[in-house]
Structure formats: structure tokens, C-alpha cells
Amino acid sequence: MTAILVNTPEVWGDDFPFSQAVVEPAGRRVHLTGQVAWDPSMTVIGENDPTAQTDFALDNIEKVLAAIGGTLDDIVSTTLFYVRQDDLPAIREVRERRMPARGATTSTAVRVASLVDERLLVEIAVIAVVPDERFRQPD
């Protein structure tokens, strides 16, 4: 079963790259910790580059989901934390390129003063629903 997307033009139209609401499909709901552009040794990847950092954060999300049988297509909700307003177009471009088709998730974006490491520009937290037939216990 796929998610049911809800987009009501009476609220604020349909010219956004996300849905106003998503009804979760059957499966295992997975809440991921916010991911940033840290490699396994916690080195910041793409310092001062919002495109590289967003791509790397999504790579980390993809790896966590793959460990349990999931994919980026299983994401139903995204919360984006970003530091610099001018970076938002680059972050959105990466999200639209890497994430499921237009309107596939709900999305919240929050501008913050800083993240856990001052060199980080973006953090992405997601909720995914991995179908039972693909879900596997992590190693």
C-alpha cells in the first residue's frame, strides 16, 4: 500500500514540493535522528557548501534506511533545520533531486541560529514507513 497524499487547495495551494498531509501506509514506522554532513569519524563534509552538506546528510539517511530494508521513497515526513537563509534554494534543489517525487512527504523547514557543530549548515530528520515485506532487523 502506498501513502495517501492530501493537498487541499483551500489551505495554501499546490505549488509546493511537498504534501500538506500524508496518511501513512502499512509498515514499520521509523523515526531517524537528524542527520548532518558528518562522516563516520565525525569530520564535516562540504564545509561552507550547503549542496554538498545536504547531499551527504541524505546519503546518511539513505544508509540508515537501507540497514533496515528501507529507501528514501519510504519517507513520509521531513524536518529540515538550516542556518543561513541564502542556502535554502540550494538545499531545496538537492531535496527535490534526491527525495521522492513532488508531493510525496510532508515537510517542515526551521531556520536556526546554529547546529551542534558550527561548520554544519543543514540537518535533516525524517520519519519513514518501511513496508513489512521489506523490513529487516538491523545487523
Per-residue pLDDT tens digits for 59-108 = 999 999 999 999 999 998 999 999 999 999 999 999 989 986 655 678 89
Q: What is the pTM of this model?
A: 0.86
Report the share of the chain in percent with pLDDT over 90: 69
Query: What integer pLDDT is reported at residue 15 of this predicted model?
Result: 61
Dihedral of alpha carbons 113, 115, 118, 124, sign: negative
Residue (of 110, 43, 48) closest to 78 by Cα position? 110
Alpha carbons 7 and 72: distance in angstroms, whole number: 21
Task: Band the pLDDT of 13: cuts 50, 70, 90.
Answer: low
Cα angle value 72/73/74 (rounded, 5°): 90
Query: What integer pLDDT is reported at residue 24 of this predicted model?
Result: 76
Query: What integer pLDDT is reported at residue 103 of this predicted model?
Result: 53
- For 21-74, strand residue ranges (E) read 21-23, 28-31
Average pLDDT, the chain: 88
